[in-house]
Amino acid sequence: MERKELLAYIEQKYQVQAEYLWQKFPTYAVFRQQANRKWFALVMTVPAAKLGLSGRGSEELLNVKLDPELVGLLKQTPGFLPAYHMNKATWISIRLKQIAAEQIKDLLAQSYDLTRK
């Protein structure tokens, strides 16, 4: 899934706008619940080396909050990484170019539902 497509999907589906909170990382997009302001998604571009990956390029990531058991299972699956700069027990990083759009949307929905509380 391409970054632009993901951002448009989140904004349309959940009726929220991306927030760009950091001057140092102007492309990091945070999405929050409207009612309680909890984050349910973070879209970012991270150098591969910072993720422990080989190569000099960057990775487009989506961080979502999930049930800890599911996080544990997904960490063992190609295309998923321990959450970058988040609680690694309850958040996971999804490599956008390696996971099918439908699975990304499903995990995003789970994150949205989990953060409503």
CA atoms within 13 A on the CB side of 44: 24
* CATH value at residue 25: 3.90.1150.30
- Quickly state the pLDDT bin for 117 (edges 50, 70, 90): confident
Q: What is the pTM of this model?
A: 0.92
**Amino acid code (one letter) for 78:** P
- Quickly state the pLDDT bin for 38 (edges 50, 70, 90): very high
Domain count across the chain: 1
Mean pLDDT value of segment 94-111: 97
What is the span of the domain harbouring residue 31?
3-114
